Amino acid sequence: MTQPSAPSDLSAGLPVVRLKPKANARAVRRGFPWVFANEMVVDRRTGALTPGTVALLEDAERSPLGLVAVNPASKIFCRMLDAEGGSAPDEAWFAARLSKALALRERLFDAPFYRLVHAEADGLPGIIIDRFGDVAVIQPNAAWADVLIAPLAAALAQVTGCTTILKNAGGRGRSLEGLDDRDAVLLGTAPEAPLPVEMNGATYMADVTGGQKTGLFFDQRPNHAFAARLAEGARVLDVFSHVGGFALAALAGGAASALAVDGSAPALALAETGAARMGAGDRFATRQGDAFDMLAALGDEGEGFDLVICDPPAFAPSKPALDKGLRAYERVARLSAPLVSEGGYLVLCSCSHAADLTAFTGACLRGIGRAGRRAQLIHTGGAGPDHPLLPQLAESGYLKALFFRL
């Protein structure tokens, strides 16, 4: 394997941080993008570095490993920026990374509605950027991105031509980095109304200023499309629906009807607007309330559906929450399986980083079995290609969608 070159003159003036002798430098050389605090030599100078500082990382023998962003306040002490060394990030540096990310998305999609940057997998660790036409929403979930938000936004405008750029500070990772939760308008004027986004023949309304995350979940796009193939003529139930994700795709696929269930009344109102814009308002209904309560109530009412989809929030966002999260996924499966007609389909999803595919599948099968149903697994889906996976970082492959025939 090629060893990183010696630091260039451009990086020579940067502070140096160093791995402990027993730290796994080999993993870093092979592409693992993080170094944890317990792997670092933290003296008074290193511990005093401002969160977001760009530094040169060395192994215990003082061989350079690359440019990193440092945050002494985080368990992730270093995030790899450039294994080849080079200059610290500036507008030109960001523009080069963004241009590569844009080239991939423009090859994949014929309209500018997608995740433009998926953090480590696009060489911009901790940074999420979702694009909605001429509007882009940045989630800077790492300290270095907050420090360098101005050149990042300038490069984003230059590369994409976006006229409105928003900062969304609602990401869970920001609190782990010691960052605030203050949103901001970085360029242009924030939209006064939700933005229509067309995907898979459906129309979604994205609230980029007040909605969940950046306003819309692009990651489920291919799973929406697969579900739509099962939906023709079907009665569809979409639980944890948000703005109508699977329900509206099913209506576009010819569903006879779709019922969307969610705890958020504003999200369901956006779903209703989307259905009306599609001309499918007469086939669409909503029920607002706790998803578990709604599943139980539909069972008590004797309701049945040909296609049931449950796409809950992350029940296991971290390893300490794994056991509790798996029990919640099992409960979702147990409550939803009885609502599926004989020969119908059940789609169960997880966006939990800590629950891998094997553990999630096991929880789903336990729930289905305890509901007295038998299942065929016909398809396993993940996030769309605008959410690329960094092979060295298992956490970047977070989304799982299991399609069962009962």
When pLDDT is cut at 50, 70 and 90, the band that residue 172 belongs to is: confident
Measuring CA to CA, how many Å separate 351 from each of 107, 313, 360? 26, 7, 10
Can you give the pLDDT at residue 11?
A: 56
Residue predicted with more confidence, 212 or 139: 139
Q: Write out the two tokens for 40.
A: 């670092």
When pLDDT is cut at 50, 70 and 90, the band that residue 246 belongs to is: very high
Q: Are 68 and 57 in contact (CB under 8 A)?
A: yes
Instruction: Classify the phi-psi angles of 223: left when phi > 0, otherwise alpha if psi is within -120 to 50, otherwise beta.
Output: alpha
When pLDDT is cut at 50, 70 and 90, the band that residue 9 belongs to is: very low
User: Are 16-82 and 91-187 the same fold in CATH?
Assistant: no
Q: Are 128 and 141 in contact (CB under 8 A)?
A: yes
When pLDDT is cut at 50, 70 and 90, the band that residue 357 belongs to is: very high
Q: Is the pLDDT of residue 12 over 80?
A: no
Residue predicted with more confidence, 218 or 213: 218
pLDDT in tens, 65-123: 999 999 999 999 999 999 988 788 999 999 999 999 999 999 999 999 999 999 999 99
Can you give the pLDDT at residue 346?
A: 98
Instruction: Classify the phi-psi angles of 31: left when phi > 0, otherwise alpha if psi is within -120 to 50, otherwise beta.
Output: left
Assign 3-class secondary structure to 53-93: EEEEEECCCCCEEEEEEECCCCCEEEEEEECCCCCCCCHHH
Share of the chain above pLDDT 70, in %: 97
Q: Write out the two tokens for 88.
A: 């610290």
CA pair distance 290, 296, nearest whole angstrom: 10
- Domain positions in the chain: 16-82, 91-187, 199-405
Q: Is the pLDDT of residue 50 over 50?
A: yes
Q: Is the pLDDT of residue 241 over 80?
A: yes
Stated as kind and residue range, the H or E segment containing 361 is helix 357-370
The helix/strand/coil state of 228 is: helix
**Weakest-pLDDT range from 144-153, 219-228, 392-401:** 392-401
Give the orientation angle of helix 221-229 with respect to helix 245-252, to 10 degrees: 40
Concatenated DSSP letters of 133-144:
TTEEEEEE-SHH
Write phi, then psi, for 308 (nearest 5 degrees).
Answer: -120, 130
Which residue among 162, 310, 351, 364 is the active-site one? 351
Q: Output the CA angle 265-268-271, nearest 5 degrees.
A: 160
Q: Output the CA angle 163-167-172, nearest 5 degrees.
A: 150
Q: Which CATH superfamily is domain 199-405 in?
A: Vaccinia Virus protein VP39 (3.40.50.150)
Which fold does the domain 91-187 belong to in CATH? Transcription Regulator spoIIAA (3.30.750)
Share of the chain above pLDDT 90, in %: 89
Q: Which runs of E-coded beta strand occur in 202-253?
A: 202-206, 235-239
Can you give the pLDDT at residue 13?
A: 82
Concatenated DSSP letters of 156-181:
HHHHH--SEEEE----HHHHHTT---
pLDDT in tens, 291-301: 999 999 999 99
Can you give the pLDDT at residue 228?
A: 98
When pLDDT is cut at 50, 70 and 90, the band that residue 213 belongs to is: confident
**Weakest-pLDDT range from 142-151, 314-323, 340-349, 378-387:** 314-323
Average pLDDT over all residues of the chain? 94
* Mean pLDDT to the nearest integer, 259-264: 97
* Mean pLDDT to the nearest integer, 282-298: 97
Count of positions (residues) in the chain: 406
Could you confirm whether domain 16-82 is CATH 2.30.130.10? Answer: yes
Q: Has 310 been annotated as catalytic?
A: no
